[in-house]
Structure 1
Amino acid sequence: MEIIYVMIALSLLMAVGFLLAFVWSVKNGQQDDLITPAMRILTEEKTNKPL
């Protein structure tokens, strides 16, 4: 029965850690624009010059 208490404590600790990581990433602008970088490769022209 004691292992249940340990597992609950560890899962709560991990959940708080993931929540803090998410809040940190939002504050630092990591979640601002997820669509444009993926679409940019489709619209950029090639700038490679032939040798």
Structure 2
Amino acid sequence: MTALYVMIPIAVIVVGLAIWLFFWAVDSGQYDDMESPAHSILFDDEDPRHQAGIDEAEGRPAKERPLD
């Protein structure tokens, strides 16, 4: 029974720390965009077709570039 007097406050502190860490991660932008970085490693930055896709996604007109 006396172990509960120690374990319950420790558990409350651990849960409070986990909640604080979660909100810190959300506020610092850790969960903003989880898919684009994973997909961007699959493309070569020098590929003109890839750059045209980036331009299109950002709303800029795609530049006319010769395809290899």
TM-score normalised to structure 1 length: 0.75
Which residue of structure 2 lines up, in the alignment, with residue 36 of structure 1?
36
CA RMSD of aligned residues (A): 1.5
Question: What letter is aligned with 1:33?
Answer: D
Give structure 1 stretches of 5+ with no counterpart.
Answer: none
Q: What whole-Å deviation, never above 9, does each CA across 1:5-51 have from its counterpart, x for those lacking one?
A: 211110110010010011011111111011111111112x166xxxx
Gaps of 5+ in 2: 47-68
The higher-RCO structure (CA 8 Å, 6+ apart) is: 2
> By percentage of residues, which structure has more helix?
1
2:24 maps to amino acid? W
Cα pair distance change 1:26/1:5, threshold 3 Å: same
1:20 has 2:28 as partner: no
Name the amino acid aligned to 2:29: G
Structure 1 residue runs of 4+, over 3 Å off? none
Percent of pairs with identical residues: 35
